[in-house]
Structure 1
């Protein structure tokens, strides 16, 4: 009797999981109109394009997408932006309202607009994206529900993304003081993440490189950052990389490190940017011999920048208001409930 009851429960759960995908819009359904004014969307996008057109064919423009509570200039200004400036490599950044702590559905509109704008400005040639933390799921949410941008991106390189949520968010939002909308949406099991990962997680026109660290203090479990290939059998367009699988003694590179200064993460990212397809580990050499990426040359300046970034992130996160005790409702345009 107990065995039969258990089998019934398991079958019920399997049916529920299988039916979950039917709650969300179809994969190729045209994306909804953007609700944020074009003026606000345009003002949030800042670009640096070299004057020489010779670099356009050599290096694809890169969109740098920061995560929750992160100012893009504090996060990328002393590392990737400096590197791209030195290389005359075109790039853009997005400054989200309230540093991305608002409803992530709204933040995604900024990403969708930016991708379209960069693609058009680059004479309809593909662009690449480097995303840190929740920036990775913003890009993926755009790819999931605005299918037109899938043909505009070559590589998505994510550093410590919250692809399947983090229990740290579950704990934070369990407290009676509430938490920011974006934190609710990154809880394991949130409606936002269910919608994000519905039907399939990746698309065959894009190469995905996900770089993670086992000492990540924000994304728990760390494996929730991994992306799963569910559109083809060869897995050639997706790679999930743990820094410690390459450098076993690298215990100091935490959540911020892999997006800002870690030398091995820099090499892995650059490999994906400079070659067709995701990062190829066979091309990576001497990854563990240095600590800081090349443009981060001064140890004391590096420490000052890192501490300043950590302080600003913490202040932004803890002073954000209003704190709420519920997840923002998923817009019907992302479900199958819209008429």
Structure 2
């Protein structure tokens, strides 16, 4: 009964949150209510299944009932609102359920739970894309002698690649192809619709396609990485063997690194990986989100800081760059990936003897400047330093480097040039999408998936360092 009471309190907090009007008194009441819910929710989740309480159903129902009570007037206003919710001064950080509810109520996402379906149903967000043309040489069953075997069919791997009608297939004079890879709980379209899709589509910088990985990338990361490995070889083969770039967010960095390690054919076909909010070492926050004994989607368990997946990836050179890699992350404040500061950041990757990595914490790149302020896990995608480093990386051999960038100009902006408030809210929407999809995912697991045979023991011959 205690568990039910705690969960009912948490659900009630979300229910009442949706009813609050945007007055100062109500705002204080709302924060107090959510503060109580923060401590109650995780205590109750572990016993919820045994006591038969449908906490997920109740949370989703109450998220449905939350509607924005205000809208930010500017990008700075929106950033301030996100900071007050995700990194409140002198208060404990909210759990993600509470944070999502507060963001929606504050008008800090482009959708509410009830309106989210419109974004999910767009053709650009499809998991079943019609890519009838075949590459040369074939990308399946193997593009290279030392590539690991795929466990997913070629038709399924190919269907996850969304190629917009504007894509020029590496034609003469066209910008370099770039493959966009999403993070946990999102798709390529939803991840990048408010940032790099509008920044790059139709530009002379890069020509984007993106991956909409089934199950919103909540499944086994080893499987998710197969989509990345295949996409690299497919797009390369479809673009007259023109090398591609790869842009990743969050878990996408792990997918890319796993793909390079165990499908080494990809390495010579990629000029750059640009990773925003990467977590090459997983996150200690995942240990808080998914404490022992609670079932979660596989990829969340795999992103625990000392998970078997992370340990396997980082062994044998996997903690170093396989391709020129540009990493960009926020030390203040990534609510998903921690630690994310200095050389100990999860987003930090060492250079190898064959490929250089650059690692940029935006607050250190732009101290006391607009671009060095508060950026969370999602909105770092819109940070102007990240965009400037991407442009620099694609123009030069090796990763993007701060010394080639006009930081006086770049740091004086909140967002990448051309982005506005609507783009910022669409980018922040990723947290709502990820939260909802995490609740809807099935089947949940208590332990992370077993490491694939090709990655065990180091004697398989796959993923040798070229």
Unmatched tracts of structure 1, length 5 or more? 1-27
Name the SS for the 1:226 alignment partner.
Answer: coil
Q: Do residues 221 (structure 1) and 323 (structure 2) align?
A: no
Aligned counterparts, 1:15-26, within 5 A: none
Name the SS for the 1:197 alignment partner.
Answer: helix
Q: Partners in 1 of 2:192 and 2:402 — Cα distance? A: 24
Name the SS for the 1:64 alignment partner.
Answer: strand
Q: Partners in 1 of 2:173 and 2:435 — Cα distance? A: 38
Cα displacement (A) at 1:239: 1.0
Q: Partners in 2 of 1:244 and 1:217 — Cα distance? A: 15
2:162 aligned residue (42, 46, 51): 46
Q: Normalized against structure 2, the TM-score is what? A: 0.61
Query: Are the structure 2 counterparts of residues 120 and 161 from structure 1 closer, same or farther at C-alpha, using a change threshold of 3 Å?
Result: same
Preserved contact between residue 320 and residue 350 of structure 2 (Cα < 8 Å):
no
Cα displacement (A) at 1:122: 1.7
Q: Partners in 2 of 1:177 and 1:192 — Cα distance? A: 18
Q: Partners in 2 of 1:204 and 1:193 — Cα distance? A: 15
4+ runs deviating over 6 angstroms: 202-205
Q: Partners in 1 of 2:297 and 2:273 — Cα distance? A: 26
Q: Do residues 308 (structure 1) and 308 (structure 2) align?
A: no
Cα displacement (A) at 1:291: 0.9
Query: Are the structure 2 counterparts of residues 181 and 32 from structure 1 closer, same or farther at C-alpha, using a change threshold of 3 Å?
Result: same
Query: Are the structure 2 counterparts of residues 306 and 126 from structure 1 closer, same or farther at C-alpha, using a change threshold of 3 Å?
Result: closer
2:389 aligned residue (261, 268, 272): 268
Q: Partners in 2 of 1:281 and 1:326 — Cα distance? A: 41
Aligned counterparts, 1:234-245, within 5 A: 237-245=356-364
Name the SS for the 2:416 alignment partner.
Answer: coil
Query: Are the structure 2 counterparts of residues 307 and 221 from structure 1 closer, same or farther at C-alpha, using a change threshold of 3 Å?
Result: closer
Query: Are the structure 2 counterparts of residues 90 and 302 from structure 1 closer, same or farther at C-alpha, using a change threshold of 3 Å?
Result: closer
1:90 aligned residue (203, 207, 229): 207
**For residue 296 of structure 1, what is the aligned residue in structure 2?**
419
Higher relative contact order (CA 8 A, sep 6+): 1
Name the SS for the 2:290 alignment partner.
Answer: helix
Name the SS for the 1:90 alignment partner.
Answer: strand
Q: Partners in 1 of 2:272 and 2:336 — Cα distance? A: 24
Cα displacement (A) at 1:203: 6.8
**For residue 54 of structure 2, what is the aligned residue in structure 1?**
none
Cα displacement (A) at 1:338: 6.5
Query: Are the structure 2 counterparts of residues 38 and 29 from structure 1 closer, same or farther at C-alpha, using a change threshold of 3 Å?
Result: closer
How many pairs does the alignment contain?
A: 304
Q: Partners in 1 of 2:402 and 2:346 — Cα distance? A: 21
**For residue 374 of structure 2, what is the aligned residue in structure 1?**
252
Instruction: Please give the root-mean-square deviation of Cα atoms over the aligned residues, in Å.
Output: 2.3
Q: Partners in 2 of 1:54 and 1:29 — Cα distance? A: 30
**For residue 185 of structure 1, what is the aligned residue in structure 2?**
302
Preserved contact between residue 151 and residue 205 of structure 1 (Cα < 8 Å):
no
Q: Which has the larger radius of gyration?
A: 2
Cα displacement (A) at 1:208: 1.1
Cα displacement (A) at 1:109: 0.7
2:291 aligned residue (153, 174, 194): 174
Query: Are the structure 2 counterparts of residues 244 and 191 from structure 1 closer, same or farther at C-alpha, using a change threshold of 3 Å?
Result: same
Preserved contact between residue 100 and residue 182 of structure 1 (Cα < 8 Å):
yes
Preserved contact between residue 104 and residue 182 of structure 1 (Cα < 8 Å):
yes
Unmatched tracts of structure 2, length 5 or more? 1-143, 462-466
Partner deviation per Cα, 1:3-35 (whole Å, 9 max, x = no partner): xxxxxxxxxxxxxxxxxxxxxxxxx98122211
**For residue 314 of structure 2, what is the aligned residue in structure 1?**
197
Preserved contact between residue 169 and residue 239 of structure 2 (Cα < 8 Å):
no
**For residue 287 of structure 1, what is the aligned residue in structure 2?**
410
Preserved contact between residue 202 and residue 231 of structure 1 (Cα < 8 Å):
no
Preserved contact between residue 282 and residue 304 of structure 2 (Cα < 8 Å):
yes
Q: Partners in 1 of 2:169 and 2:383 — Cα distance? A: 30
Partner deviation per Cα, 1:184-225 (whole Å, 9 max, x = no partner): 111112111111111113677721111111021111111121
